[in-house]
Chain A
Amino acid sequence: MNSAILFNEVHRHFGTKRVLRGLSFAVAPGEVFALLGRNGQGKSTALNILLGFLAPHRGRASILGVEGARLGADERARIGYVGEGHRLYRTMRIRDAIAFERATRPAFRGDFAQRAIERCELDPKQHVGLLSRGQRAQLSLILAVAARPEILVFDDPAAGLDVGMRRALLDALVDLLSDTGCAVLFTSHILSDVERIADRIGILRDGRLVVDATLDDVKRRVERRLWTRPERPDIPGQVRARQRSGGWEITLVDPPREAIAAQNGSLSDPLPASLDDVFLDIAGEDAPRILPDLTEPEVSR
Chain B
Amino acid sequence: MTTILRRDVRVLAFLGLAIAIANFTVLQSDDAWVRPRGYSLFGLQLVAWIGGALVAAAILLRDALEGTTAFLIHRPIGRRRLFDSMVFAGVVTLVAATVIPIAIAALIGPILRPHPADSVAFVWTHLGCASVGLAMFGVVAFGLTLPMGWLWRGLATLALGFSLVGIASVLSTAPTSNEAASLPAFVAAMLVIAAASVAFARHLVATPADADRPLGGAAVAGAMVAIASAVAGATVGIAAIQDGVAAEVGLPRVSIDESGTVTAERVPLGERWRDVWSWRSQWRDDWHTQPRRGDFDSADFFGSRRRWSDERTFRTTFRSGLMQVAYLGEDRRVRMHPPFWLREGRLRVLGRGTEDEPFADDARATPLDVDHALIVFEPSRGALWRWPLGSDADAFVPLPLPDGDRAVAVARRRLANGSATVQVIVGREGVYAIHDGVVRAWTDGRTPIGRPIATTVAFDPVAPRVRVTDADGVVRFDEVVEATGLVPSVFAAIALVRPPLSTWASQFATERSIYIGRNPFHPVALVEPLVAGGKRAWLVALHTFVGLFLASWTWRRLARLGASGGRRLAWAGFVVAGGVIAFVLHMLVETTRAYSEPVADAADAAAPVMLLRSAS
Contacts and interface: CB of A to CB of B under 8 A. Distances in A.
B58 to A, nearest CB: 12
A55 B207 CA distance: 10
Given A81-B74, A85-B67, A299 B607 contact: no
A102 to B, nearest CB: 10
B7 A89 contact: yes
Given A18-B601, A207-B603, A213 B75 contact: no
Interface stretch (A159-167, A188-196, A289-297): A289-297
Interface string A81-95: 101010111111000
Nearest to A218: B612
B213 interface: yes
B71 interface: yes
A217 B75 contact: no
A54 B208 contact: yes
A103 interface: yes
B598 A16 contact: yes
A214 B614 contact: yes
Contacts of A12: 212
Contact of B611 (A16, A21, A282): A282
A301 interface: yes
A210 B606 CA distance: 13
B241 interface: no
Interface stretch (A71-79, A170-178, A225-233, A256-264): A71-79
A139 B66 CA distance: 17
B70 A81 contact: yes
A104 B75 CA distance: 7
A208 B608 contact: yes
B258 interface: no
Given A211-B612, A212-B613, A293 B598 contact: no
Interface in A23-37: 26, 28
B612 A212 contact: yes
Interface in B386-431: none
Contact of A105 (B76, B608, B611, B613): B76
Given A53-B73, A74-B76, A289-B603, A103 B613 contact: no
A60 interface: no
A6 to B, nearest CB: 11
Contacts of A206: 603, 606
B614 A217 contact: yes
Contacts, number: 149
A222 B612 contact: yes
Q: Describe B's contact surface by its main secondary structure.
A: loop
A106 to B, nearest CB: 7
Contacts of A209: 610
B599 interface: yes
A51 B76 contact: no
A16 B599 contact: yes
Contact of A300 (B81, B208, B615): B615
B421 to A, nearest CB: 60
B598 A26 contact: no
Nearest to B601: A18
Nearest to A13: B598
Interface in B1-37: 2-3, 6-7, 10-11
Contacts of B70: 48, 51, 53, 81, 83, 87
Contacts of B78: 72-73
Contacts of B6: 99-100, 103
B68 interface: yes
B67 A87 contact: yes
Given A15-B212, A289-B602, A294-B611, A77 B76 contact: yes
Interface size class of B (residues with CB under 8 A): 35 or more
A88 B603 CA distance: 38
B610 A22 contact: no
Interface residues of A, number: 69
Contacts of A214: 614
Contacts of B489: none
Contacts of B567: none
Nearest to B600: A18
A103 B3 CA distance: 7
B510 interface: no
B474 interface: no
B210 interface: yes
B616 interface: yes
A87 B71 contact: yes
A252 to B, nearest CB: 10
A235 interface: no
B609 A210 contact: yes
A43 interface: no
Contacts of B67: 85, 87
B596 interface: yes
B115 interface: no
A282 B596 CA distance: 31
B616 A57 contact: no
A55 B611 contact: no
B76 A73 contact: yes
Contacts of B66: 87, 89-90
A153 to B, nearest CB: 9
Given A206-B603, A290-B602, A295 B610 contact: yes
A291 B616 contact: no
A91 B22 CA distance: 25
Interface in A238-285: 239, 253-254, 282
B598 A292 contact: no
Given A55-B210, A104-B3, A207-B603, A87 B68 contact: yes
A51 B73 CA distance: 10
A15 B593 contact: yes
B597 interface: yes
Contacts of A17: 598-599
B355 interface: no
Contacts of B612: 210-213, 217-218, 221-222, 253-254, 294
A222 B613 CA distance: 11
Contacts of B2: 103
A286 interface: no
Contact of B212 (A14, A51, A87): A14
Given A15-B596, A210-B612, 19 more contacts: A13-B212, A13-B598, A16-B596, A16-B599, A18-B598, A18-B601, A21-B604, A76-B76, A77-B75, A83-B71, A90-B66, A105-B76, A200-B614, A208-B608, A210-B610, A221-B612, A222-B612, A294-B611, A298-B615
17 contacts: A15-B596, A72-B78, A73-B77, A73-B81, A81-B70, A88-B68, A89-B7, A91-B10, A91-B11, A100-B6, A104-B3, A104-B76, A211-B611, A212-B610, A253-B612, A291-B606, A291-B609
